[in-house]
Amino acid sequence: MTAPAAPLALLAELTHRCPLRCPYCSNPTALTRPGEELDTATWARVFREAAELGCLQVHLSGGEPTARRDIADLVRAAGGAGLYTNLITSGVLTGEAKLAALAEAGLDHVQLSVQDAEPGSADRIGGYRGGHARKLEFARHVQDAGLPLTLNAVVHRQNLDRLPAMIDLALALGAARMEVAHVQYYGWALANRDALLPTRAQLEAATATVEAARRDLKGRLVIDYVVPDYYAKRPKPCMGGWGRQFLAVSPAGRVLPCHAAESLPGFAFPNVRETSLRAAWEESEAFNRFRGTGWMPELCRGCERAEQDWGGCRCQAFALTGDAANTDPACALSPHHAVLSLAVGAAAEAGEGFTYREPQRDVHRVPG
């Protein structure tokens, strides 16, 4: 078998600890405990191996990556390995002094998440009182430190109507890039799908808002737009295709083709405690199982888009059909495509209460 091309980026999920309890969190519902996390030296080795494998950048994520006391050491280790470092953060745990330490350690870029533009709604969605104000303060520190900023707005039924205000917020905070990312339904988001799925009217309005903003703000703000699959006719090439462009390492050291892959049963994902990143990427059965097109059902193999969408999302196929090898239901040709319409219909009848992300899975439901 020909060795796969080098991955573009590593998603380093440093911890599942997080002060926020976002109901759309992509972390698995069974969260890794702090005592099970990789230590500093192991992460430093992973960063060196990622660079040797050909990765160009590392996204330091979680949970909340700054919950780790060694975060500055990890930034330094990643930069020392030659990787471009992007901190994906909620911003609520990082004051001016900590951010200065991260900048001194060589941090290249900050990606800040926001839950809404309206403080009360933002704090309710994030499950963290005063969190929105802390995010705004953190963003000012990022500006003062001279670090480039991307604002990541995760959008859904309960905040989409304020998308124009979120775009204005990105401009006010000095962001050069914004990600308008519709919720993707894995992990905690799947448990909260009925409360989060937007209506078609909301989706169409949001798309029009993004298109207008891209036109009007050209040269000032770059807007990336990730749409939900539940109104789609064709699937997206999830993560650029299984095992094609990205790999993730979980807090406990499992090497994954995407951050949600732990939801799939029947996989023995390699662990960096026992194997090298190169061996995991090139040789493991878990990565090779859905690479390319040979694994695809006949319906997909004969499709002219087979090497464009690479079969769509395996995690979504499993979540909606019970079999990760099935055609992604986002494809209109899938025999399971109707499950998306059923989900949209169920969401239209649902309330707005959330099952919040909780470390011990002792879920706390708050009415809308």
Enumerate the known binding-site residues for [4Fe-4S] cluster.
18, 22, 25
Instruction: Return binding residues.
Output: 18, 22, 25
Residues listed for the chain: 368
Structural Rg of the chain based on CA atoms: 20
CA distance 6 to 41: 24
CA distance 325 to 265: 12
CA distance 49 to 46: 5
Q: Longest C-alpha distance within the chain, in Å? A: 57
Best CA proximity match to 173, nearest among 93, 91, 66, 61: 91
E-assigned strand segments in 95-144: 109-114
Give SS3 for 190. Answer: helix
Cα→Cα distances 242→9, 296, 312, Å: 13, 12, 9
Give SS3 for 252. Answer: coil
Q: Which helix (H) or strand (E) holds 40?
A: helix 40-53
